[in-house]
Amino acid sequence: MTDLSLMPAPAATAAPAAVAPLTTAPAAPAVVTAAELYAKLLADAPLLIVDVRNPAEFARMRIEGREALDVLNIPYYAFIEDEDDAAAPIPTDREVVVVCAKEGSSEYVAELLAARGMAVSYLAGGFPAWGNHVDVRDVAAGAWGKVIQIARPARGDLSFVVVSDGAAAVIDPLRHTAVYHDTIAAEGASLAVVLDTHVHADHISGGPALAAATGAPYHVHAYDAIHPIDMLPATIPYTSLDDGQTFPIGAVTVTAHWFPGHTLGQFNFRLDAPDGTSALFTGDGIFLRSFGRPDLGGKGEAWTPLLYESLTERLPAIVHPHTLILPAHFSALDEAGADGVFSAPYAAVAATNDALRHRDLAEFTAYVLGHLPVFPPEYVQIKRVNIGLLEAGEQLADELELGKNICALSA
Amino acid sequence: MSTHFDATLDVKGAKCPMPLVKSRKAIGDLPVGHVLQVIATDRGSIADFQGWATTAKNIRLVAQETTAEGGQDLYVHYLERTA
C-alpha cells in the first residue's frame, strides 16, 4: 500500500495558484458580484455563462436571463480531464462569466480560460450568492411616498415595501428580513403592518419574523392559516383579514380584497394615493403573463371555479385601467423592463396576458388542467413552515427553497 | 465490507476543485487496474466524483461511502484506473 501523501492535512490552504500551470502572466480573471451579474442580465448585453457545476445541480436551478444570454453547462472536472476538449464549445468573442457551486472551481476554470485569451470573469460567492441576491428598486413614487420592489431574482420572488409619511407596510416579505429593516430605516419610517397576500407554498415568509422583531401586526387570512393537506391550524400569531378592510399607511390607503383561487384565503391589496396613483399587490392572484395555479392546496377541482370568478369578476371590479399590477412572482426576466421593475398597468396586462383571454368556465378549467406544471413535493412542507407546524433552520430552509418558484401555470 | 484499494489520497479540508485536481494527478501515477482511495470532507465531492467518473476516459468509480471522524463527516471515494 502506497501513501501518495499529496495533500497536507491543514484545511483551506489549497491555493489554485499552486496548480495552475502558468508560466506566462495572462490577464487575471475579473470577479463579478451577484449584483453586477444581475445588472448585466437586465441590460441584456451579449453574455455567456459557463456553469461549471455538475449536471444534477445545473438541472435543479440555473441562471436565467433575457434574449442575449447563453448558458453552457460544462462541469469543472471536464476541464481537469481534458482542457482543450472542455473549452472547445466556448466562443472566444463573447464576454464569459464562470459560475460554480461555491467559487473555487469557477475561479480555477476562469484562470484556465483567461490563459487562453478569453475575456472572462467569475461569480463571487458562487451559486449561493446568486440564489440569495436581493434587488431593491422603486416602483412608484410621489409626494405621498413610494412603493419599493424587493426581489430575489434567482427564484422569481417579488415583495414590496410601501412608505408614506414615516409609516411603512411590507407585503409578501421573503425569508431573509434584514433588507426590509434596512430599507424602512433608510426611508426614516417605522413598520406599521405586515401583510401576506396568502400563505405561500414556494418560499418561507419573513412576515412572522418581521412582526416579532417590530411589534407590527402580521395579517394573513384565516382560511390560509389551516394547512390544506394536513387540515391543521396555524401555531404562529396572526390576525385575519376582512374583505374590504383598510389599512391607512401615512397618506395612502391599502384595501384588502378577497381573491380566492390560488389559495382559499388569497387576498389582493390595493394601494390608493392622494394623487390618484393606484397599485394592486396581487400576490399569486394574477401575474404579468400568467396567474397563480389553483392546485397547490390539493383542492384544484374546488378552487378552479373560485379562481375563475376572481379573475373574471373580482379583478375588473377592483382595478382602474392605470392601476399598476404588482405580482409576487415572475417567471421570466423579460417580464421586467430594463429598469428591473416587474409591473404593468392593468390595461396592458389585460391586453397581453393570454391567461386572461375570454373563456367560459369549462374552457378555463381545461386551460388550467392543460397548463399545470409539476407539483414540487417540498411545497407541502413549506406551507407547514409558514404556519408554524414545522420548524426550519437555515439549512432546511435553504433546501426547501432550492430552485425557482413554480407558482404560475406553464406556458 | 471494506473496499480494496492500493493507494490512498487525503484531501481532508481541501475545497472544490482541489479534491478532484489532486485525484486526477494521483490516479495518473497509479498502474492500470489499481484503486485509489480518496478521503474528502467536501460534501459536494459525492456528486462531482460521480459526474467525473461518467465522463472521464480511464476512471471507474468503484464505491463511495460516508463515514465520520471526530464529529466531521468524511466522504470516501474509490477510483480504479481502467486504462
Q: Cβ separation of A108 and B8 shorter than 8 Å? A: no
**B25 Cβ neighbours under 8 A, 6+ residues apart:** A6
For residue A29, give the nearest of A118, A147, A89, A104 by alpha carbon.
Answer: A118
- The per-residue pLDDT string of chain A (411 residues; one tens digit each, 9 = 90 and over) reads 444 444 344 444 444 444 444 445 557 899 999 999 999 999 998 999 999 999 999 998 999 999 999 999 999 999 999 999 999 999 988 999 999 999 999 999 999 999 999 999 999 999 999 999 999 999 999 999 999 999 999 999 999 999 999 999 999 999 999 999 999 999 999 999 999 999 999 999 999 999 999 999 999 999 999 999 999 999 999 999 999 999 999 999 999 999 999 999 999 999 999 999 999 999 999 999 999 999 999 889 999 999 999 999 999 999 999 999 999 999 999 999 889 999 999 999 999 998 889 999 999 999 999 999 999 989 999 999 999 999 999 989 988 998 888 999 887
Query: Which pLDDT value is given to residue A402?
Result: 83
From CA A352, how far away is CA A356, in angstroms rounded? 8
In chain B, whose CA is at the least distance from the CA of A77? Answer: B52
The 3-state secondary structure of chain A reads CEECCCCCCCCCCCCHHHCCCCCCCCCCCEEECHHHHHHHHHHCCCEEEEECCCHHHHHHCCCCCCCCEEEEECCHHHHHHCHHHHHCCCCCCCEEEEECCCCHHHHHHHHHHHHCCCCEEEECCHHHHHHCCCEEEEEEEECCEEEEEEEECCCCEEEEEEEECCEEEEECCCCCCHHHHHHHHHCCCEEEEEECCCCCCCCCCCHHHHHHHHCCCEECCHHHHECCCCCCECCCCCECCCCCCEEEECCEEEEEEECCCCCCCCEEEEEECCCCCEEEEEECCECCCCEECCCCCCCHHHHHHHHHHHHHHHHHHCCCCCCEEEECECCCHHHCCCCCCCCEEHHHHHHHCHHHCCCCHHHHHHHHHHCCCCCCCHHHHHHHHHCCCCCCCHHHHHHHCCCCCCCECCC
Active-site pick, A42, A100, A124, A140: A100
From CA B40, how far away is CA A14, in angstroms rounded? 13
Q: Cβ separation of A80 and B9 shorter than 8 Å? A: no
Q: CB distance from A102 to chain B under 8 Å?
A: yes
The pTM (predicted TM-score) of the whole model is 0.89
Among candidates B8, B9, B51 on the partner chain, residue whose Cβ is nearest the Cβ of A54: B51
Structural domains for chain A: 30-130 (3.40.250.10), 134-400 (3.60.15.10)
Query: Which pLDDT value is given to residue A6?
Result: 41
Chain A residues in contact with B48 (beta carbon < 8 A): 54, 75-77
Q: What is the ipTM of this complex?
A: 0.94
Residues 14-73 of A with CB under 8 A from B: 14, 16, 19, 54-57
Residues 343-362 of A with CB under 8 A from B: none
Among candidates A6, A55, A100 on the partner chain, residue whose Cβ is nearest the Cβ of B22: A6
The β-bridge partners of A248 are A253
Distances in Å between the alpha carbon of A23 and those of A17, A86, A115, B3?
11, 21, 10, 40
Burial of A154 (C-beta count, 10 Å sphere; 0-12/13-18/19+): buried
Burial of A41 (C-beta count, 10 Å sphere; 0-12/13-18/19+): buried
For residue A373, give the nearest of A407, A331, A333, A330 by alpha carbon.
Answer: A407
Among candidates A2, A7, A108 on the partner chain, residue whose Cβ is nearest the Cβ of B10: A7
From CA A242, how far away is CA A291, in angstroms rounded? 23
**A374 Cβ neighbours under 8 A, 6+ residues apart:** A406
Q: Cβ separation of B21 and A108 shorter than 8 Å? A: yes
How do residues B27-70 score in pLDDT, each as one tens digit? 999 999 999 999 999 999 999 999 999 999 899 999 999 999 88
Chain B residues in contact with A81 (beta carbon < 8 A): 24, 52, 55-57
State the best of A77, A79, A81, A100 to mutate against chain B, taking most chain B CBs within 10 Å.
A77
Q: Cβ separation of A14 and B10 shorter than 8 Å? A: no
